[in-house]
Amino acid sequence: MKRLNLKWPLTIVASLLAIFIFVIPLYGATVYSFKGNGGKGHSWVNYQWLIHADGFYPSLFTSLKLAVLAAAFNLILMVPTMVYLNLKGQRFKPLVDFLCILPLIIPVVSLAIGAQVAMPKFLQNTQYELVFFFVIIALPFTYRALDTSLQTVALKTLVEASRSLGASWTRTITRVIVPAIRSGITGALFLTFALSIGEYTITSLLHWETFPTWTVVAAQQNILGAIAISVFSFVGAIALLSAIALFSKRGLQRVEVEE
Amino acid sequence: MLPLLPFFIFTGFFLIWPVIAVTIRSFKGNKNEWTVANYRPILHTGPYLHAFVVSLKLSIITAIIGSLLGAFFAYVIVTYARGKFGAVIDSISAVFANSGGVPLAFMFVAAFGTEGIVTKVLKDLGWDIYAGHFTIFSFTGVVLVYSFFQVPLMVLVFKPAIAGLRYEWEEASINLGASPFTYWRRVGIPILVPSFVGAFFLLFAGGFSAYATARALTVGTVPLVPIIIGTLVDGNVISDQANLGDALAVGMIVIATIAMTGYIWAGRRAARWRNS
């Protein structure tokens, strides 16, 4: 039986569909963002507006700061947890697994309302409360990223070798395990950072101002400017992720959500 | 156990406790007495029930569109695009699926708004998409925008399932005299169905809970449950029930939990064919 070769027909159909669904809106928005004053001609005027707009730098700085903190906190919490889980805590794995999938189940809107009810006043009064919720929202992804990469290394052997050579636990984690699971850590780090920097729901419901919430407010003054911001952040994210995918040996497949 | 304590304390305090707290408060009346009064408007007052219906409709439609188109893309990518190109497609899907939110809404305004680039091009070609009831700020508009992140999400979730189809299975059935069509009907598709159903539930839950895109796009013109909760929280809507928002939030948790139970159940069925 001769196998049908559908390579080109299918590739062409998929490419055309992808162009209609993804490329055209993105292209349309890009062209739009370069419109001049009053919608005429082409210019950088919207991007210039952006840089000079009130609140652009402060909100961008806040977002960057919170995202860096969330990524760092995430690793400090999750790397030891996942190492222990894969080493000795096997019996707790179903429970941790369940807790880490919960953020996908509980709608972020509901979590935000819950946070307003449950968080103590001193936390509600600081924007740093967002850091913890960003970590929660990123949990399903970081769990998966770290877990897959821990399962590919001979964890037990590495730890036994390191410990019997006299290294402390801290030293074993920082000098042996972390380098071994670097790809998982990079994935977790980047995903937490990306999710945090674009997070809108919980931020706006808890009434904080970060880059995304500022964008929505700014859009009411200047929709062209808001479109310019959107194009800028989308293209930036794609470029960054593609660069990581191309230059890291193992790519990003590991950080996908699979069942 | 001890090394896991920080993790349990953290998730307990920032994830479990808020959910418990909102559930408790949803059963409290204005004078802090126990009551189910907060839930009554959801079932009996038009707008709130309607919001649940619209939200369900939106998430079901976009999950159907997303899962069908996404499965097709996933198949083509797994079969024909490997190596570096595949890795780039992966990362683009990851961006489209996860960092949608606010930028997505404004991008679609630019493309499909009244003055949008695509709108104008289509008009020049003789198709005025605004001739009927369509606007980008309407239900159909939200469906269009949501599909933009549902499709790549499906690609991400479904790709491993297709990649898990072993070439040996196809070879075996063809050696036994099956045509490619029979192989897909009797082997390929039955194996993929649980993964597909699981992914559908995940897309449904994602569409049901999404807030940022709809909020930035419609500013409340399409009544979705998350949007209504948002306006209640912002104090834009006065309700005689102080904790109505909590009841709506719990209602969302219940629906999302049902969907995710389906996702986990389907995942177990799908896992049967793996690691064996």
Q: Between the CA of residue A136 and those of A58, A103, A246, B7, B25, what are the distances in Å?
A: 25, 7, 29, 11, 22
Query: B11 contacts in A (CB within 8 Å)?
Result: 99, 102, 136, 139
- B48-271 classified as CATH 2.130.10.10: no
* Chain B contact set for A169 (CB, 8 A): none
CB contact under 8 A, B174 and A1: yes
Report in angstroms the alpha-carbon separations of A18 from A13, A159, A185, B95, B208.
9, 47, 31, 15, 24
For residues B71 and B196, the answer to whether their CB atoms sit within 8 Å is: yes
Residues contacting B52, CB < 8 A, separation 6+: B42, B225, B251, B255
**CB–CB of A81 and B7 under 8 A?**
yes
- pLDDT level of residue A233 (50, 70, 90 thresholds): confident
Contact B144, B88 (CB under 8 A): no
pLDDT value at position A129?
Answer: 92
Which 8-state DSSP code applies to residue B32? S
Estimate the crossing angle of helix A211-221 against helix A223-247, to 10 degrees: 150
CA A38-A41-A44 angle, to 5 degrees, is 85
Whether the CB of B201 is below 8 Å from some CB of chain A: the reply is no
Q: Measure B170 CA to nearest chain A CA, in Å.
A: 11
Q: How far apart (Å, rounded) are the C-alpha atoms in residues B65 and A153?
A: 39
Mean pLDDT within B213-240: 79
- Provide the token pair at B231: 């306006």
Determine contact: B229 vs chain A, CB below 8 A.
Answer: yes
Higher per-residue pLDDT: B92 or A171: A171
* Rounded Cα gap, residues A38 and A44, in angstroms: 13
Residue A244 pLDDT > 90, yes or no? no
How sure is the predictor about B67, in pLDDT bands with cuts at 50, 70 and 90? very high
Q: Which two tokens stand for residue A43?
A: 């210019």
B97 touches A at CB < 8 Å: no
pLDDT tens sequence across A65-75: 999 999 999 99
Mutation choice for B interface testing from A106, A119, A169 by most B CBs within 10 A: A106
pLDDT at A60 over 70: yes
Q: 3-class DSSP state for residue B28? A: strand
Mean pLDDT within A1-30: 78
Of B110, B134, B123, B145, the closest CA to residue A39 belongs to: B110
B259 by Cβ neighbours in 10 Å (0-12 / 13-18 / 19+) ranks as: buried
Is some CB atom of chain A closer than 8 A to the CB atom of B163?
no
Query: A18: left (phi > 0), else alpha (psi -120 to 50), else beta?
Result: alpha
pLDDT at B42: 80
Residue B34 backbone phi and psi in degrees, to 5: -75, 135
List, in sequence order, the alpha helices (H) in chain B: 5-11, 17-26, 40-44, 46-80, 83-98, 101-112, 117-124, 139-163, 167-175, 180-183, 189-209, 212-218, 225-234, 244-271
Q: Do A214 and A156 contact (CB within 8 A), yes or no?
A: no
Say which amino acid occupies A127.
Q
Question: Does B66 have pLDDT greater than 90?
Answer: yes
CA separation for the pair B7, A132 (Å, rounded): 12
Cβ neighbours of residue A123 under 8 Å, at least 6 residues apart?
A129
> What confidence score (pLDDT) does residue B105 get?
85
Q: Burial code of B209-237, b = ≥16 C-beta within 10 A, e = fewer?
A: bbbbbbbbbbeeebbbbbbbbbebbeeee
Domain ranges of chain B: 1-35, 48-271
First-to-final CA distance of chain B: 31
- As beta bridge partners, residue B34 has B28
Which residues between 35 and 64 in chain B have a beta carbon less than 8 angstroms from any beta carbon of chain A? none
The one-letter amino acid at B266: A
Indicate the domain borders of chain A: 55-255
pLDDT of residue B237: 60
In this structure, which topology does domain A55-255 adopt according to CATH?
Answer: MetI-like fold (1.10.3720)
Question: What Cα–Cα distance (Å) separates residue B249 from each residue in B12, B32, B221, B237?
Answer: 19, 18, 20, 16
Q: What is the pTM of this model?
A: 0.85
Encode pLDDT of A30-56 as tens digits.
Answer: 888 887 666 666 777 878 887 788 888
Evaluate if residue A80 carries a pLDDT over 80: yes
Distance of alpha carbon A30 from alpha carbon A28, whole angstroms: 5
For position A39, what pLDDT does the model report?
61
| Cα–Cα distance measured from residue A158 to residue A176, given in angstroms and rounded to the nearest whole number | 7
**Does B114 contact chain A (CB < 8 Å)?**
no
Q: How far apart are CA A104 and CA A136, in angstroms?
A: 10
Q: What is the ipTM of this complex?
A: 0.84
Q: Which of B28, B58, B75, B91 to mutate to test the interface with A (most CBs of A within 10 A)?
A: B91
Minimum CA–CA partner of A25 in chain B: B111
* Interface-testing mutation among A17, A33, A113, A244, with chain B (most B C-beta atoms within 10 A): A113
Which residues on B lie below 8 Å from A233 (Cβ)? 99, 103
Under the banding of pLDDT at 50, 70 and 90, the label for residue A251 is: very low
**Does A96 sit within 8 Å of B230, measured CB to CB?**
no
